[in-house]
Amino acid sequence: MIDRNHTAITEFILLGFTDNPKLQIFLFVVFLMIYLLTMLGNLTLIVLIRTDSQLHTPMYFFISNLALLDVGYSTIIAPSTLMTSAGELKAISLAGCAIQFFLFCIAVSCECYLLAVMAYDRFTAICNPLLYTVIMSRQFCVMLVVGSYFVSCLNSTIQTIFIFRLSFCDSNIIDHFFCDGPPVMTLSCSSTYITDIVHFTCCAMVVTSTLLIIFVSYIYIIVAILKIKSAMGRHKAFSTCASHLMAITLLYGTGSFMYLRTNSKSYVDQDKIISVFYTLAIPMLNPMIYSLRNKEVKEAFRRTIKRNQ
């Protein structure tokens, strides 16, 4: 039961990274540059895929949706990050905090599901090339993307309800730069035992289900590649998966450290650094990963430049 002398919390204060004015200015410039590069890279990739007919394939359809998700992903987090870095407007309402977490949870969950969908796409292309266009029809691809968002919304709704039904009645200071689940739960003056279990279970289900799809897909892909007799053929088949594997490693490596643990009251400084990486850096790096390592994207970019000259 909540003590009646306690005052219910109606807003939170985001501490951000530091109180040092000089360091705040430096971080503001860094985060602003990251956000602008994220917008530029992902929007350019989306426009390139939509305008170049040779990129109208299932693989690039998923990449364009991943880029669109990264635009929203960054936009959910960047404003609060910039405000806390600037040292102004650090307050966020309880409802605003819940909305930010809800949208963030959808974005990060959907990113995992899209990466799993892309693994299945690569499995189909390499293991069933003759049936690829039949299996990965436009309608089926749209259904996979819509399904990813639906499951992500369901996961986010469950987590948001359990976290923000907690009682917040003492400190309202979040030692973080946005409303993430673990730092918000540390402020609760009621028991978080059930919420910790629900939070861990939801995160574990997203990670394990998507990793299972990815793992099984790549087992079949590796077997199929090893059966290719020519070294050039094996290299070409593997090169189509290299960018995807890199994106998977970056997201799951950082995300698993953050969420697949039940202790939410430790590793505060490490959590902030890791959170910057998977909320701001990865959305910036994804378009570079899928363009700089992709010959078809680079050729499409050259064709676009020639058309506009």
In the predicted model, what is the mean pLDDT of the chain? 85
Provide the b/e sequence for 113-130 (b: ≥16 CB within 10 Å). bbbbbbbbbbbbbbbeee
Q: Is the pLDDT of residue 16 over 90?
A: no
Q: What is the pLDDT of residues 130-162, one digit of tens each?
A: 999 999 999 999 999 999 999 999 999 999 999
Nearest to 248 by CA among 280, 226, 215: 215
CB 239 within 8 A of CB 290: no
Counted residue by residue, the chain has a size of: 309
Q: What is the pLDDT of residues 233-250, one digit of tens each?
A: 777 777 778 888 888 888
Tokens of 150: 């639906």
> Mean pLDDT, to the nearest integer, of 203-230?
90
> Mean pLDDT, to the nearest integer, of 256-267?
57
Q: What does residue 267 show for φ and ψ, rounded to 5 degrees?
A: 60, 40
Q: Residue 186's pLDDT is what?
A: 87
Q: What does residue 192 show for φ and ψ, rounded to 5 degrees?
A: -105, 15
Secondary structure of 172-206 in HEC code, one letter for each residue: CEECCCCCCHHHHHCCCCCCCHHHHHHHHHHHHHH
Q: Residue 109's pLDDT is what?
A: 94
What residue segments make up the domains of the chain, in order of their start? 11-308
CA distance 281 to 277: 5
CA distance 12 to 164: 12
Report percent pLDDT > 70 for the chain: 90
**DSSP letter assigned to residue 7:** P
CATH no. of 11-308:
1.20.1070.10
CA distance 208 to 298: 34
Higher pLDDT, 278 or 74: 74
Tokens of 22: 């000089």
Long-range contacts of 18-21 (CB under 8 A, 24+ apart): 19/87, 21/87
Nearest to 50 by CA among 60, 39, 37: 60
Q: What is the pLDDT of residues 79-113, one digit of tens each?
A: 888 888 776 667 889 999 999 999 999 999 999 99
Q: Residue 23's pLDDT is what?
A: 84
Supply the pTM of this predicted model: 0.89
Q: Residue 305's pLDDT is what?
A: 77
Q: Which residue has the tokens 């540059």?
A: 33
CA distance 105 to 51: 31
